[in-house]
């Protein structure tokens, strides 16, 4: 059958290149996630402030991020900003910007949800113990919020890793692009390479994302917080 084809995965440094390509995607995701966590926490707290203008702005921001497909935003940043401001953003940088914006919105919403789901009497009992508002935040609210957030943040990371593949469509050399290059290079020696390469990429993504999602699930169960499971 196609038993010759699978060898293309193992000749030369093909596997290595594929993995590097995947690492490219993961890198972008990780940077975006870390930035998103910080900015998201700030955004989340901002969303609980009772200023109507602030509420409106953040709400619009969230809705835009929710409705627009990530690829559209990549296009806007990569093609549009370049045109609009004359700056030449690389695909990578565009990706980090877009995914950070998206991630911040998601994290912000998660943080807001976690903050408002803490029963008000937690704040009150902290105050009753004569703690200042800041102390209540640090010792009562934040530890509980963090517990709720971690599984959700991990879940966001997986989603981000999956979505970052889109950067291939704005020319970033990630795993799919590397795959295409390998297939092209081996067009005559391994004509059926495409099948094996893409199957391998499929498997690689699975091997990266699945363990992460298992960890998230176990943490969620361990810290058993009733409420929404997305």
Nearest approach, Cβ of 202 to another protein (angstroms)?
5
- Residue 21 interacts with another protein (CB under 8 A)? no
Structural contact between residues 37 and 107, judged by C-beta atoms closer than 8 angstroms: yes
Nearest to 108 by CA among 143, 147, 149: 149
Q: Does 67 bind another protein (CB under 8 A)?
A: yes
The single residue among 48, 63, 122, 138 that binds another protein, judged by CB under 8 A, is: 63
Q: Which two tokens stand for residue 164?
A: 């970052």
Chosen residue from 163, 172, 182, 216 binding another protein by CB under 8 A: 163
Nearer to another protein, 23 or 195 (CB): 195
Pick between residue 206 and residue 223 the one whose CB is nearest to another protein.
206
Question: How far is it, in rounded angstroms, from Cα 139 to Cα 188?
Answer: 65
Return the ∠ at Cα 61 (arms to 60 and 66), rounded to 5°: 95
Residue that is written with structure tokens 């293309």 in the block: 8
SS3 content of the chain, % helix, strand, coil (to 5): 80, 0, 20
Contacts of 79-88 with C-beta under 8 Å, sequence gap 24+, read: none
116 binds another protein (CB under 8 A): no
Figure out which of the listed residues 30, 76, 127, 146 binds another protein, where binding follows CB under 8 A. Answer: 76
3-state secondary structure at position 147: helix
Q: Which helix (H) or strand (E) holds 146?
A: helix 142-164
By beta-carbon proximity to another protein, the closer residue of 45 and 68 is 68
Q: Determine the 3-state secondary structure of 4 from DSSP.
A: coil
Assess 20 for contact with another protein (CB under 8 A).
no
Q: Which of residues 188-227 bind another protein (CB under 8 A)?
A: 191-199, 201-202, 205-206, 209-210, 213
In the list 14, 58, 158, 186, the residue contacting another protein (rule: CB under 8 A) is 158
Question: Which parts of this chain interact with another protein (CB under 8 A)?
Answer: 2, 5, 63, 66-72, 75-76, 79-80, 82-84, 158, 162-163, 165-166, 168-169, 176, 179, 183, 191-199, 201-202, 205-206, 209-210, 213, 229
């Amino acid at each position: 059958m196609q038993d010759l084809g699978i060898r293309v995965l193992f000749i030369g440094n093909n596997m290595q290149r594929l993995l590097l390509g995947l690492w490219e995607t993961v890198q972008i995701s990780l940077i975006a996630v870390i930035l998103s966590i910080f900015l998201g926490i700030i955004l989340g707290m901002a969303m609980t402030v009772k200023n109507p203008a602030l509420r409106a702005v953040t709400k619009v921001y969230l809705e835009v991020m929710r409705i627009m497909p990530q690829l559209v935003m990549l296009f806007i940043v990569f093609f549009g900003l370049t045109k609009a401001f004359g700056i030449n953003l690389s695909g990578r940088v565009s990706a980090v910007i877009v995914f950070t914006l998206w991630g911040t919105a998601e994290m912000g919403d998660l943080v807001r949800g976690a903050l408002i789901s803490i029963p008000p009497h937690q704040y009150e009992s902290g105050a009753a113990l004569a703690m200042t508002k800041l102390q209540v935040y640090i010792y009562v609210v934040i530890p509980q919020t963090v517990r709720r957030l971690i599984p959700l943040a991990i879940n966001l990371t997986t989603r981000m890793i999956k979505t970052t593949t889109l950067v291939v469509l704005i020319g970033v050399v990630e795993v799919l692009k590397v795959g295409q290059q390998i297939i092209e290079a081996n067009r005559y020696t391994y004509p059926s390479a495409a099948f094996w390469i893409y199957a391998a990429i499929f498997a690689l993504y699975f091997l990266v994302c699945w363990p992460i999602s298992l960890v998230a699930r176990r943490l969620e169960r361990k810290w058993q917080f009733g409420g929404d499971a997305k």
